[in-house]
Amino acid sequence: MFGNSIRDREKRTGWLLVVPAVFVLLLVYAYPILRAFWLSLFTENLATELEPVFNGLGNYSRMFGDGAFWQSIWNTAIFTSVSLAIELVLGMGIALVLDRAFRGRGVVRTVAILPWALPTAIMALAWTWIFNDQYGVINDILRRLGLIETGINWLGEPTLAMVSVIVADVWKTTSFVSILLLAGLQSIPQDLYEAHAIEGASPWQSFRQITLPLVLPQMLIAALFRFSQSFGIFDLIQVMTTGGPAGATQMVSLYIYDTVRRYLDFGYGAALVVVTFLILIAVVALAGLLLAKVRKSAGVDI
């Protein structure tokens, strides 16, 4: 009975410590979300209407026929899926190298994280120069190798523009993924590899049967982080292509930005925000369930 009173007191103390943080989170996150949902029920376009007019679900029904919005969703899905897949593969390779013991490993680890530490806008501007069709480094290298005669307009062709922004994003964020995976690799006991080697297993078998299953939770966490960041990408695309050419790299964040800031359509912009938020919540919830299932099957206490 005495023990129960202590546990009850600890629970009350825990709740008292958590309540201020929950209040701040509700103030910072819940209010803007609820405000956006309420605004999405109105037609509020400063270019045409002086006062907001209640429109119910009109903005949401308008969305179904908005080809530009669905094109931006498609562009975002391509950008996110391709860049995420490449970052996970490259990040795993870099993490495996950084996990080995060699001279100067600390310096190499520091250098490896530098791309992630650089401001995105500055990095995007540098990649814009690299892909420039007149004086860009990429075209200069290809000319010197005799592979092309005239410069390729990397940022002026729809497919090449998408490839270019994916390359820039992969270069910047792969280091972040590799650091997360490196933390997972270092948590694996070396005794497992030694016992597996004694049994005659090859390095590839050790990677497939030990490393990959045990580091899978970290891979899912890294994928979740990168999905949320890539889906909301803005500054990289804004600097490199501004959504062009012909909307080929216009992500959903840029479309919402143009709707609100350029066309002053706040009601429809709020509806776009709500739908995008619901898509993110659905994906994150599914990823959370998958992560919990993987960690449980791996014997990790959640």
Sequence-distant (6+) residues with CB within 8 A of 298 are 213, 214, 216, 217
Q: Cα(157)–Cα(166) distance, rounded to whole angstroms?
A: 14
| Closest C-alpha to 185, from 222, 229, 230 | 222
pLDDT of residue 295: 66
How many other C-beta atoms are found inside a 10 Å radius of the C-beta of residue 236? 22
* Cα(30)–Cα(123) distance, integer angstroms: 33
CA 291/CA 280 separation, integer angstroms: 16
pTM of the model as a whole: 0.86
Other CB atoms within 10 A of residue 84 CB: 22
Task: Report the pLDDT value the prediction gives residue 129, as an integer from 0 to 100.
Answer: 94
pLDDT for the residue numbered 302: 39
70: phi then psi, degrees, rounded to nearest 5:
-70, -30
Half-sphere exposure in the Cβ direction for 214 (13 Å, CA): 16
Choose which CATH entry (1.10.10.60, 3.30.565.10, 1.10.3720.10, 3.40.640.10) describes domain 68-297.
1.10.3720.10
**DSSP letter, residue 265:** B
List, in order, residues 6 or more apart from 288 with CB less than 8 Å away. 224
pLDDT for 159: 94
Written as six digits, the tokens of 162 are: 């998408």
pLDDT in the model for residue 163: 96
The predicted pLDDT at position 150 comes to: 86
Compute CA 150 distance to the chain's CA centroid, rounded to the nearest angstrom.
35
Low-confidence ranges of the chain (pLDDT < 50): 1-2, 300-302
Q: Which residues contact 185 (CB under 8 A, 6 or more apart)?
A: 95, 96, 99, 211, 215
Instruction: Please count the other Cβ atoms lying within 10 Å of the Cβ belonging to residue 262.
Output: 9
CA distance 69 to 255: 7
Contact criterion met (CB below 8 Å) for 162 and 75:
yes
